[in-house]
Structure formats: C-alpha cells, structure tokens
A = this chain, B = another copy of it.
Amino acid sequence: MAASRRDALPTSEQFAVWRAYIQTAEILRARVQARLQADSNLSDGDYKVLLALSEADGSALRSSELAAIIEWERSRMSGHLGRMEKRGLVRRERHDEDARGSRVVLTGEGARAFRASMIPHLEAVKGIFVDAFTDVQLDEIDDTTTALRTHLGLPPMSGRSRA
C-alpha cells in the first residue's frame, strides 16, 4: 500500500529506511574514523585541517579562512587548533598586517603526519565503503545523494560529474 506523496507522515517502511540509513551512516563514519585514528593517530577533524593547510599557499592560513573552507564554527576551529598545536601539528603565529588574526602554519611534523595518513585513509575508504557495492550501486548512491542534496538546498558534489 504505497502512501501518497503528500502525506505528512512517512509509512513505517519509509521510516525504517530512514532509520537504517542514518544509523548505518553513523557506524560507517565511526569505522573510518577509527581506522584513521589507529593508522595515523589523527581524528577526522585533524585530517581536514591538515588537508586544507597542505593545499594552502605557504602551508598557512588565517584561522577564519580555515574555518570557512572546512565549514566549521570559528570557536570550534579555535578549540581544535589549540589541541593540534599542543601535539605539534600546527603553530599559530601573530599576523603582522592584522594583529587581530593569527596565521595558522603547518609544521614539519604536521606535514609528515598528513602525508603518512593519506594512503591508509584512502585504503580504508576503499575497503570499508567502496568495496561494499557494485558499480551500479555506487552510481545509485551518487544519484540518491545528489537528489538529497538538491532537496536540502546543498550545492552538488557528485562523483560522476568529474568522471
């Protein structure tokens, strides 16, 4: 008995799809994160920060630029950078031109940690996520993710568009 598209409430089947989807995605995230942590002693957040800094001109960015790239709150970035600085992955320097902002600089140790983490991280994504599916299923995921992003008003980021 298919429910009308206009019903305000989901059918129990639809709700079950939601529950399975969201719970599975959570577990997936946790597994990949755990591998990154075990292989490279980096959290997901660490990885994003290191990635952004690696790609930045001079391996340095202002904290707010970093926050904008990663789409984090500034306060979240602030706390995270504090922890990363304590571990020697980044360094914060006073910004000469505008002393309100600080320059976040990738340290040699940070760059080394990031380089060492990349291959294992990609392998983990392959083994944990990609290998679960057939090529057709991966395309379906691409489609449904795109549909969802459109519905949510998010910019597209399809994998197929770059093929």
Interface residues, chain A, with chain B CB atoms under 8 Å away: 2, 5, 7-10, 12-29, 31-32, 71, 119, 122-123, 125-126, 128-133, 135, 137-138, 140-152, 154, 157-160, 162-163
Contact A126 B10 (CB under 8 A): yes
Contact of A9 among B18, B126, B145, B158 (CB under 8 A): B126
Asked if A27 contacts B152 (CB within 8 A), the reply is yes
Q: Could you list 17 examples of A-B contacts with CB < 8 Å?
A: A2-B135, A7-B126, A8-B123, A9-B119, A10-B126, A14-B130, A20-B157, A20-B158, A21-B25, A22-B28, A24-B145, A25-B25, A26-B29, A27-B152, A128-B151, A133-B147, A133-B148
Contact of A132 among B25, B28, B151 (CB under 8 A): B151
Assess the A122–B9 pair: CB atoms within 8 A.
yes
- Which one of B15, B140, B148 contacts A125 once the chains associate, using CB atoms below 8 Å? B15
When chains A and B are docked, how far (Å) is the Cα of A151 from the Cα of B27?
Answer: 12
Chain B residues, Cβ within 8 Å of A2: 135
**Which residues of chain B are near A150, meaning CB under 8 Å?**
132
Q: When A17-B142, A138-B17, A157-B23 are in contact, do A10 and B147 touch as well, CB less than 8 Å? A: no
B125 and A10 contacting across the interface, CB-CB below 8 Å = yes
Q: Give bound CA distance, A127 to B15, whole Å.
A: 12
Residue of B nearest to A25 (CB): B25
